[in-house]
Chain A
Amino acid sequence: MDIREVIKTVNRMQADGVIENYAIGGAVGATFFLEPMATLDVDIFTRLQPEPGSVIVNPTRIFDYLKAHGGVMEGEYIVLDGWPVQFLPPAGALVEEALAEAVHVDVDGVPARVFSAEHLAAIALQVGRAKDKARLLQFVESGVLDAARFQAILARHGLEAAWLRFQRQFIGDES
């Protein structure tokens, strides 16, 4: 089990033209900025392209490629190197922007593309499950967020009221 091998495989997929740009999100993405947190899967965000001459998006090409490279299908996941991996299209303007503005990180010589800390925090606010709120609090307490950039993202995506509510509930501070 080696998550770096998963990243290498996704990089190869991109180099081979199976996917375009990608970015790691979810708990694995957050681990690039925070302490490691247990997670069930690896979320890879990428635009799923329709087949040439078609308007219908078909992920079969991704799955066929990965199966040929040792991946095993398990429900909505494909298991790579022991990790269930989910390929997710950017559904919504915030995730679209997060994908476009993802940051490049070097993992011991393996390049990786990851959502920025500010986008991960904004997505956590938008998704809003209990564990997302806990993650957002971790981002706030860790001090890794660029406050101006984070505020601008919240404003662009209509999340300011949700942020105020979050602050009232968990931080006790609306500054």
Chain B
Amino acid sequence: MTTDIARILESKRAHRNALAARPIAEKLRLLDALRERELLIRRASLRGAQTIHEVHEDAASYVDKPA
């Protein structure tokens, strides 16, 4: 454990690089796990959704637009 922010950021970067370097099949299994976790969270928060607005994301527009 450290409170040195530079070391923390470097450690995070190293962890991300290590994840990125894993075999693709393993990374896709991690995607499956992330999705399952997200569904669990969503189900658990269904009751709260009546009073708290759910996070909404606009769909991507893939149409060319001026730079």
A interface list, Cβ under 8 A from B? 1-4, 26, 28, 31-40, 82-83, 88, 90-95, 105, 107-108, 123, 126-127, 129, 131-132, 138, 141-142, 144, 157-162
Contacts and interface: CB of A to CB of B under 8 A. Distances in A.
Contacts, number: 88
A36 B17 CA distance: 11
7 contacts: A26-B60, A31-B31, A32-B27, A33-B20, A34-B20, A40-B38, A132-B60
Query: At the interface, is chain B mostly helix, strand, loop or mixed?
Result: helix
A72 B41 CA distance: 22
B8 to A, nearest CB: 16
Contacts of B16: 35, 138, 142
Nearest to B31: A36
Interface in B30-67: 30-32, 34-36, 38, 57-58, 60-67
B62 A158 contact: no
